[in-house]
Amino acid sequence: MVGRYGWIILVMFLIGMIKTPSAQAFVIERPVKGQTVVAGEPYDVWVRLVPGEVCDSVGPGLSFNAKTGRYEGTDKVDPGDLRGVSEEIPILVLGEGAFCRDAKVKITVILPPTTKITGIDARFSLNDKQLTTASIARRPNGELIALGGFSDREVSISATYSDGVKRKITDNPDFTYKSLNEKVAIVFPPGQGKSYGSIVDNFALVRATGPGQTDVIVQYGEFTDRVTLKVRECPYIEGKMEDGCPR
């Protein structure tokens, strides 16, 4: 008879005899990681099984090619799915079968060169909330402070494209910015302004410089838009100036 501990050893031996599923039963040969594809244009999807592994199917829409020994097919990204001019997206290949595992690779998708801007829309925002006012105060030594961290607010720009989709393009280096009254506010293009001591590369910053009102002009080629900013100066109260003018 097999004792209590004998049964435990036997069960552990049998578990060890069972094949453990591999972490990935196939590899994606195409597209390769970081590959750039144009939205709307087909790209190859090639999947090869790890030697010794079996998948009931690999998809979606891939067929096994006996000559190459891999699953093959094509796919494409709808330009309407892009909310920017360029996006990094994951390509997921699904495996069906007891020991088959999914695989994923990231590629970069860009808009077709024929997709052109037909108009732009600029606004001031903070965490995607539109803002058109700012508050400032002066310390006793004359130092100007922007209340509520105004210099962290971005000039958010959206562009309407010829395919009818509106996309956010705040980091486009071809945009130009101009404040019509720098005594009220100045604009730092992407890569030139600092927020909390660090250079901001992905959007333009606006900093209030004095009370009043000014327009900030945003231009891209033949397209122009403007945003109006109102700045009010508050009395300075030590220790109570973080969230705006005191009530």
**Domain limits for position 223:** 117-234
Domain boundary (95, 110, 125) is at: 110
Predicted TM-score (pTM) of this structure: 0.67
Please tell me the distance from the alpha carbon of residue 129 to that of residue 38, in angstroms, as a whole number: 32
> Residues 111-163: pLDDT tens digits?
999 999 999 998 877 555 666 788 888 888 888 777 655 545 678 888 999 99
Burial state string for 107-144 with b = 16 or more CB within 10 A and e = fewer than 16? bebbbeeebebeebebebbeeeeebeebbbbeeeeeee
Domain end point (choices 71, 92, 110): 110
pLDDT tens per residue across all 247 residues of the chain: 445 444 444 444 444 444 444 456 888 999 999 999 999 999 999 998 888 777 888 888 899 999 999 999 999 999 998 888 889 999 888 888 877 878 889 999 999 999 999 999 988 775 556 667 888 888 888 887 776 555 456 788 889 999 999 998 887 788 899 999 999 988 988 888 877 778 888 888 888 888 999 999 999 989 999 989 888 888 877 766 555 565 5
Instruction: Write down the pLDDT at residue 215.
Output: 92
Residues 152 and 218 in one domain: yes
Of 57, 91, 110, which one is at a domain's C-terminal end? 110
| Residue 219: predicted pLDDT | 93
Place of tokens 């720009």: 157
Write down the pLDDT at residue 2: 43
Find where tokens 């891999």 sit: 70
Q: What confidence score (pLDDT) does residue 149 get?
A: 52
Q: What is the pLDDT of residue 16?
A: 44
pLDDT on residue 239: 64
Residues 225, 122 share a domain: yes
- Whether residue 184 sits in one domain with residue 129: yes
CATH code for the domain in which residue 86 is found: 2.60.40.10
Contact 84, 70 (CB under 8 A): no
Task: Provide the pLDDT for residue 22.
Answer: 43
